[in-house]
Amino acid sequence: MPHPAHPASAERQSPSPRKPKLPRSTWIVGALALVLLIIGVSTTGMQGLLMMGGLLALITGAYALVTGRASWARLPSRKFAAAVLAASLVSIVIGTSLAPDTGGSDSSALGASVAHPTPTPVASPTRTATPTPTATPIATPSDTPASAVSAADSSTALAQLATLPVKGKAPKTGYDRTGMFGSAWLDVDRNGCDTRNDILARDLTEIAKSGSCRVLTGTLADPYTGTQIAFVRGNATSTKVQIDHVVALQNAWITGAQQLTQDAREALANDPRNLLAVDGPTNSAKGAGDAATWLPPEKSFRCTYVARQIEVKAAYGLWIAPAEHDAMERVLGACGGAAVAPVPVAVPEPVAADPAPVVVPVPVPVEPAPAPAPEPAPAPAPEPAPAPAPAPAVNVHPGGFCSNPGETGVADNGRTYTCGGKGADANGKFHWNA
């Protein structure tokens, strides 16, 4: 009897469904996206995470929405891609709002950072090369207005100038704005506002804020140019008003700040006494110049400017270069200040002693005098002292402002430049010209 045909095995009739594998592109692009997110978090924290994640989502969502493909992220539909695109825009907007303010001098490497409650060191007024600073509270912004300097103040500044050590500049080796002086700008006084917004609120008038700190608009009476500048916050407009370090951080580095602690250097970079809101282009022209190479174009402010530099250098135990000392003394002398004269020392008059009793000597036999000794040979004439070394050439910035027409200086490229070599510009101001 024929046997009935057996049905096909279960494996052949209905094979079990296999789980789909993710394509290789998903793993590669996903790993790259993860690396970019880690870089964003490690550099600027939450802002970097939101900005980098938003950018990746924007590219992925736009690709899936336009092509209708699932992309590397396996987006199931165009509606889902549109939702990812919208979320990416929100993430980018939030990340942008968390970006730190980047206006001001010495701010080539800005970023978010944790504030350190650092007191300001104050050096004892000695003429030693490396004075030890003493910690005192940092002055609040309202304590340090850019007021005019009187003749009495100039004399005080000259007296303080006499206490500063005078010697050559140290090499710039190792200078790093962020690494040595901290990120700009910190909240060293822990009032909830970063230092830049504190200074804008102090130096501007008619200000408008977003919240309690962020200055949006205001008017600056610029001390460096004597002009009125309208400040409007924005990527293209914030740089019109910059925060200048009166003692440039690079100058501080080569005149003693290398020997300060990290906390002391961060305090110097955020000390309101060393900060002024000023015209952006003029601040850029100053660069890292000292009083010997750059002074404010507004001559009526030069005494205040130099007195502030002396105050800051004395507070942090910094020294001054010889040319810098001479320029400061010249500026303050023109303001009516009197140079410090040495204090005379009183010499007591001699007291007459009582006369000694007269003693009559007993005569003794006189022996014949010995023969006179031969006269010594004359000592050789001293060699003439070596001629003093020539004064160091003034370091200048080509095209920068200068105040003494006819004065010469040498730039970092080794070329010699003359102040006003091509005459005054349209505003009557002089520049360093080859």
Average pLDDT of the residues in 46-55: 78
Instruction: Inform me whether the pLDDT recorded for 109 exceeds 70.
Output: no
**pLDDT for the residue 366:** 60
Residue 413 has pLDDT above 50, yes or no: yes
User: From the centroid of its chain, how far is CA 188?
Assistant: 15
Q: Count of residues for the chain?
A: 434
Average pLDDT over residues 206-210: 94
- Whether residue 251 has pLDDT greater than 80: yes
Determine the average pLDDT of the residues in 333-355.
54
Please give the average per-residue pLDDT across 347-361, as a whole number.
53
What band does 360 get if pLDDT is binned at 50, 70 and 90? low
Tell me, letter by letter, the H, E, C secondary structure of 176-211. CHHHHHCCCCCCCCCCCCCHHHHHHHHHEEEEEEEC
Query: What are the strands of the beta sheet with 228-232, ordered from one edge?
Result: 204-210, 214-221, 228-232
DSSP labels, 29-83: HHHHHHHHHHHHHHHHTHHHHHHHHHHHHHHHHHHHHHH---TTTT--SHHHHHH
Residues forming beta bridges with residue 61, ordered by sequence position: none
Q: How far apart are the first and last CA of the chain?
A: 119
Domain spans in the chain, listed from the N-terminal domain onward: 24-97, 120-334, 401-433
The tokens describing 33, both together, are: 């996206």
C-alpha 309/C-alpha 249 separation (Å) is 12
Comparison of pLDDT for 294 and 57, the residue scoring more: 294
Which pLDDT does position 241 carry in this prediction?
A: 96
Of 407 and 200, the structure prediction assigns the larger pLDDT to 200
Q: Using a cut of 0.85, tell me whether the model's pTM lies above it.
A: no
pLDDT of 232 > 90? The answer is yes
The winner for highest mean pLDDT among 4-18, 94-108, 159-173 is 159-173
Q: pLDDT tier at 282 (50, 70, 90 boundaries)?
A: very high
pLDDT on residue 200: 96
Query: Is residue 220 within 8 Å of residue 275, measured between CB atoms?
Result: no
Using omega within 30 degrees of 0 as the cis cutoff, is the peptide bond preceding 185 cis? yes
Q: What is the mean pLDDT of the chain?
A: 78
pLDDT(401) > 50: yes
Residue 317 confidence (pLDDT): 96
Q: How confident is the model at residue 274 (pLDDT cuts 50, 70, 90)?
A: very high
160-202 pLDDT, tens digit per residue, is: 999 999 999 999 999 999 999 998 888 888 889 999 999 999 9
Q: Which residue has better confidence, 262 or 396?
A: 262
In this prediction, residue 149 carries a pLDDT of 63
Residue 106: pLDDT band (50, 70, 90) is very low
- Residue pair 56/63 in contact (Cβ under 8 Å)? The answer is no
- pLDDT value at residue 28: 86
pLDDT given at position 104: 45
Tokens of 383: 């060699």
Among candidate residues 248, 255, 264, the one with its CA nearest the CA of residue 308: 248
Cα angle 324, 327, 329; round to 5: 110
Q: Tell me what pLDDT residue 148 has.
A: 59
| DSSP-assigned states of every residue in 323-392 | HHHHHHHHHHHHTTPPPPPPPPPPPPPPPPPPPPPP-PPPP-PPPPPPPPPPPPPPPPPPPPPPPPPPPP
* 98 confidence band (pLDDT: 50, 70, 90): low
The reported pLDDT for the residue numbered 6 is 53
High-pLDDT (> 90) share of the chain, %: 39
